[in-house]
Amino acid sequence: MRAVADFSRDLAKRLPYPLFLRVFLRTNQVRERSAEALIQRCGVPLLRPGVLEAGKTSDVLFVLGSGPSINRISPERWRAIAQHDSAGLNFWLFHPFVPRFYFFESIGDFEPGYNEFLAVAGRRAADYREVIKVVTFVHGSGQQTFGQVFQGDQNFYAASALQTPARNEREIGFAIEYLARRGAFDAGAGRQPFFKHASSLSLMISVATCMGYKKIVLCGVDLKTQEYFYQDPKLFPEGAKLETAPRAQVHATQVAQEWLVPISIVLERLREQVLKPRGIELYVEHRGSVLWPAIEEAPEALFAGVAPVSSR
């Protein structure tokens, strides 16, 4: 993201944002070709149209984040979640619940958690054999990660993410509207690159929209601190010492930076400009999330064991 920020900073000094965005998107096409070449060298197939849709069994998607509230979800709720579709993100591999989909960002060996990620991915490879797995944000420094993880797995793909730069709510709103007009959120989950800003959470909302889900429930998306479910020493001794940032620090995706808008604002814009016009409902699993009450708590009926509506 630093290279994007440097490019954005220099260009934005001279251009109004609408024009800057168009130039950025054109320039990003060159970067995507470079990423695709790297993917091909590692032998990971690009995500193609129809792959994600083939694994879809419900109109409800539970997005599984890494906040500590994950450890407070009751067994009854887990059974209900298992009846619908679910997507684990990044370090979700530490959790025993196996989702239908798994998305992770490729990381380099210089980044926090690199060795721990490779280790847990190796241990869980057999458990995730039938899970559709997608690696995103592929770049040179992450080659070792997605080159080693899930080797030979027929359900492992790579996808590109468009890390759209913006400095404030007005600009991210313009970007989302512009990309929506260009079909970035239309049906067909093979469409790439997927919109992303601030975190994998925004990418997952983009993917879920393209897949046609009617309800999206955010689980473990607490966003208060940098504390994670797998750091509980009693429940997850293997992940308890993993530190990617000071635990008491405000969650990084909630801190405004030069070219990053807080994720809560991004989700609000996505909900108003993309989800609502398509009749898609967005919820949080619990009220402890920073996103509540702006985003409502999921209705209890979603956890009542109602059989999922088939999308096939």
Per domain, the residue ranges of the chain are 2-303
Would the pLDDT of 264 be above 80? yes
Q: What are phi and psi for residue 132, nearest 5 degrees?
A: -80, 120
The secondary element (H helix, E strand) that includes residue 177 is: helix 169-181
* Contact assessment for residue 213 and residue 224, using Cβ atoms and an 8 Å cutoff: no
Would the pLDDT of 310 be above 60? no
User: Lowest mean pLDDT: which of 65-69, 73-77, 159-163, 226-230?
Assistant: 159-163
Strands 156-158 and 85-89: unpaired
Would the pLDDT of 45 be above 90? no
User: Is 305 or 114 the better-scoring residue by pLDDT?
Assistant: 114
pTM of the model: 0.91
Of 201, 226, 222, 204, the C-alpha closest to 213 is 204
Taking CA 4 as the corner, what is the angle to CA 134 and CA 208, rounded to the nearest 5 degrees? 30
Please write the tens of the pLDDT for every residue from 267-301.
Answer: 999 999 999 999 999 999 999 999 999 999 999 99
Three-state DSSP class for 158?
strand
CA distances 180 to 116, 273, 277, Å, are 37, 8, 11
Of 239, 241, 245, the C-alpha closest to 226 is 245
Output the average pLDDT for the chain: 88
Of 64, 72, 67, 114, the C-alpha closest to 242 is 114
Would the pLDDT of 229 be above 50? yes
CB atoms within 10 A of CB 310: 9
Please write the tens of the pLDDT for every residue from 93-122.
Answer: 999 999 999 999 877 767 778 888 889 999
Per-residue pLDDT averaged across 222-244, rounded? 94
User: Is 29 or 224 the better-scoring residue by pLDDT?
Assistant: 224
User: Lowest mean pLDDT: which of 29-33, 195-199, 238-242?
Assistant: 29-33
The topology (CATH level 3) of 2-303 is sialyltransferase cstii, chain A (3.90.1480)
What sign has the CA pseudo-torsion 299, 305, 307, 312? Answer: positive
Q: What are phi and psi for residue 158, nearest 5 degrees?
A: -120, 145
* Contact assessment for residue 58 and residue 311, using Cβ atoms and an 8 Å cutoff: yes
